[in-house]
Amino acid sequence: MTNKPLPQIDVETAPFWAGAREGKLLLPHCGDCGRYHFYPRALCPHCRADGWQWAEASGRGVIHTYTIAHRGAGPAFKDDVPYVVAIVELAEGPRMMTNIVTDDLSGIAVDLPVRVVFDAVTDEVTLPKFEPA
């Protein structure tokens, strides 16, 4: 269990969370224009088609930007500091807000290659995070 706030799983995002529980990073993939997007939404943000499908991503990307938190975002995070909050640009194109898991904060940098890891925080919620590749 965790005392941290958790994502609200709904009908639109349930496949994403089911994939994460199985160790798969799923992204919406548009069959019309061939591009990926994230977060999931009814229409493809690139071409407005409504025919996208979930597809497994490579789990690879680079750090687009990041910050190192030295004060937790509320009491639930105070024991985690310092921790890295980042936007990772996935190899498939979309950017995802996440945490970078590392013991070497001095190695964190923009454009650092990273790969996905999965943090099972409850029976229902597994969070995709990233580590240096």
CA–chain centroid gap for 43, Å, is: 20
Contacting Zn ion (CB under 5 A), which of 20, 25, 26, 30? 30
Q: Is the Cβ of residue 32 or residue 119 nearer to Zn ion in the bound state?
A: 32
CB of 26 to Zn ion, least distance (A): 17
Which positions from 31 to 50 touch Zn ion by CB under 5 A, shown as an x/- string? -xx----------x-xx-x-
Stretch that binds Zn ion, among 14-22, 25-33, 61-69, 70-78 (CB under 5 A): 25-33
Distance CA 49, CA 46 (A): 8
| 55 binds Zn ion per the rule CB under 5 A | no
Pair of tokens at residue 58: 């490579």
Going by C-alpha positions, the residue among 57, 60, 47 that lies closest to residue 25 is: 57
Give dist(CA 107, CA 130) in Å, integer. 14
Task: Give contact residues for Zn ion (rule: CB under 5 A).
Answer: 30, 32-33, 44, 46-47, 49
